[in-house]
Amino acid sequence: MAKIGIIGGGINGLMAAYYLQKDGHEVTVLDRGDFSEGCSHGNAGMIVPSHIIPLAAPGVVMKGLKWLLNKKSPFAIVPSWDKDLIYWLFAFHRAATETNVQRAIPQLAALSLLSKKLFQEMAAEGEIGLNLQEKGILMLCQTAATEHEEHHVARLANAQGIQAVPMTAAELAALNPQVRYSVRSAVHYPGDATIDPALALASLTAHLKSRGVVFLPNTEVTGFRRGKDRISALQCADGERNYDHYVLCGGAWSGMLMKSVGLRLPVTGGKGYSFVQNNAAGLSIAALLLDHRVSVTPYGQTVRFGGTMELGPLNSRLNMAKVSGIHSAIGQYFADWKSPEPTPQQVWHGFRPCSPDGLPYLGTVQMYGNLHIAAGHGMMGVSLAPASGKIIADLVQGRTPDLEDMSAFRPERFASR
Ligand SMILES: Cc1cc2nc3c(=O)[nH]c(=O)nc-3n(C[C@H](O)[C@H](O)[C@H](O)COP(=O)(O)OP(=O)(O)OC[C@H]3O[C@@H](n4cnc5c(N)ncnc54)[C@H](O)[C@@H]3O)c2cc1C
C-alpha cells in the first residue's frame, strides 16, 4: 500500500482516487478551493467516443479566425501579451496537421471506448450515482458544409468500430417524433451517452470519503520538493506534505504548476458557459448543434445548454454576448423552443483544460518516476476521466495499462520544442 497525494479534486482527480483506492492505497485529494471551482460541475456531461478527431485539426484555424469577427460566435481569444498563450497558439497551429490527426485517432478512440466501458461497469455496480443515459448523441447539421464534414467524421468513426448513423431530416423525425427539429440532416452516434456530472462528483466524493479517502480543501499546492529522480514532497502554504506518489489533476492550472519542476506542459483555459432551462420542447436525446457548437443535454424536466470556447485569462468575467449566442441558437434547431435569455446569475462557467494538440497529458513524468499526470483533457475531460483514472492506478501499481499505445498522450511531448 502506498501513500498517494492527488492535486485537484475535479472529475479526473476523483476518478484517479476511485481506482487508486480500489487498489488499496492510502489516498489524499488536495484542492486549492472547496472542490467546486473547477470545470467538472456544470459541463454538458457527454460521453463521446464519437469525438475521435482532436480539436487541433486541419481547417480549425481558418474557422476560428472567421469566428473571431463575430461577437456571438462560439469562439474567442481574449487579446493579451501573455507569453504562455502566445506559445500555446503557435503550438496549436503547428499541431493542426493531417499527420497528427491520423496518429491520434486510434489512440483517442481506444481511450474513449475504454472510458465508456468503465462508466458502464460503474453504473452496473451501482455504488456511484451517474445518471448514465445511453441514448446516443445526435449531431445536428444545418448547412451542406457541416453535413459534409460530419459525414467524413462518421466514416472515420466507423473505421474505428464506432457506430455512426447518418440520417435525413425525415429519418430524424421518425427517430424522435415528439420533437420538431429544424435541421438539414443529422448523424446519430448510438454509442455516445450522457451523465449528470454534478451528481457524479457528489456521489464519488461521498463514496471515497466512506472508504477513507482524505479530502483537503483550501490547500493550494505551490510547488514540489525534488529529489534526483523522484518528487519528495508537495509544497503548500501551510508547509510540506509527503507521499509516495503524486498525481497532478489540476485542470487548466496544471501547466503553471509543472513549470516548478521544469516540465513544459502547455495548458490554456478554454472558458465555456452553460445554463439550465425547463425542457419546454420535450427533448430526450442529447444533441450537438454543430453549426453553432452548442451542446444540449436533457435531464427529464430540464435541459442544460452549453457552448463557447474563449481562450484567455482564468478569470470569472462573463461574456454575455456569447451566452446570448448559445441561447439564440436553440430556437433555430428546435421549432417549438421558446425561453427567456438566462441572466448572469443563471450562467455557469468553467475552463476546459486545453492542450495545444487537443489530447490529454496522461502518464508518468520521465524525470520523476513517482509523478503522474492526468490533465489537459480539453472538451473531453468527463468522457475520458474513468480511463485516465484507471491508467494512473495501473501506472502506480506497475500494471500494464489497457491501452497498447499511449504515445500521443506523453506529458513530455512539448518539452523540447
Ligand atoms: C461548457 C462546457 C461543456 C463541457 N462539456 C463536456 C462534455 O459534455 N463532456 C466532457 O467530457 N467534457 C466536457 N467539458 C470539459 C470538462 O468539463 C473538463 O475537461 C473537465 O471537467 C476537466 O476536469 P479536470 O478534473 O481535469 O479539471 P477541473 O475540473 O478543472 O479540476 C481541477 C481542480 O484542480 C484544482 N487545482 C488547480 N490548481 C491547484 C493547485 N495548485 N493546488 C490544488 N488544487 C489545484 C482546482 O481547484 C480544480 O478543482 C465541458 C466544459 C465546458 C466549459
Q: What is the pLDDT along the chain (417 residues), one digit of tens a residue?
A: 999 999 999 999 999 999 999 999 999 999 999 999 899 999 999 999 999 988 888 888 788 888 888 888 898 898 888 999 999 999 999 999 999 999 999 999 999 999 999 999 999 999 999 999 999 999 999 999 999 999 999 999 999 899 999 999 999 999 999 999 999 999 999 999 999 999 999 999 999 999 999 999 999 999 999 999 999 999 999 999 999 999 999 999 999 999 999 999 999 999 999 999 999 889 999 999 999 999 999 999 999 999 999 999 999 999 999 999 999 999 999 999 999 999 999 999 999 999 999 999 999 999 999 999 999 999 999 999 999 999 999 999 999 999 999 999 999 999 865
Minimum CA distance residue for ligand 1 atom 14: 379
Ligand 1 center to 93 CA (angstroms): 23
Ligand 1 center to 269 CA (angstroms): 10
Pocket test for ligand 1, best of 51, 379, 380, 383 (most atoms within 8 A of CB): 379
Q: How far apart are the first and last CA of the chain?
A: 38
Q: Is 130 within a domain? A: yes
**Ligand 1 pocket list (CB less than 6 A):** 7-13, 30-33, 35, 37-40, 43-46, 220-221, 249-253, 257, 272-274, 295, 306, 350, 352-353, 375, 377-383
CA-CA distance, 66 to 315, in Å (whole number)? 25
Ligand 1 center to 7 CA (angstroms): 12
Are 140 and 329 a contacting pair, CB within 8 Å? no
Q: How far is CA 189 from CA 46, 181, 401, in A?
A: 12, 17, 27
Q: Would you state the cell numbers that stand for residue 239, as one nine-digit string?
A: 508547509
Q: Would you state the cell numbers that stand for residue 246, as one nine-digit string?
A: 503524486
Q: Is 133 within a domain? A: yes
Q: Is 416 within a domain? A: no
Ligand 1 center to 376 CA (angstroms): 9
Pocket test for ligand 1, best of 7, 15, 39 (most atoms within 8 A of CB): 39
How much is the pLDDT for 235? 98
How much is the pLDDT for 416? 60
- The rounded radius of gyration (Å) of the Cα atoms in the chain is 21
Ligand 1 center to 178 CA (angstroms): 34
Minimum CA distance residue for ligand 1 atom 31: 10
Domain at 114, CATH number: 3.50.50.60
Q: How many domains is the chain built from?
A: 1
Q: Which residues contact 347 (CB under 8 A, 6 or more apart)?
A: 273, 274, 275, 318, 320, 323
Q: Is 7 within a domain? A: yes
Ligand 1 center to 39 CA (angstroms): 3
Q: Is 12 within a domain? A: yes
Q: Is 246 within a domain? A: yes
Q: Is 417 within a domain? A: no
Q: Is 415 within a domain? A: no
Model-level pTM? 0.97
CA angle 98, 102, 106 (to 5 degrees): 160
Closest Cα to residue 22, out of 373, 375, 396? Answer: 396
How much is the pLDDT for 2? 98
Q: Which domain holds residue 213?
A: 3-409
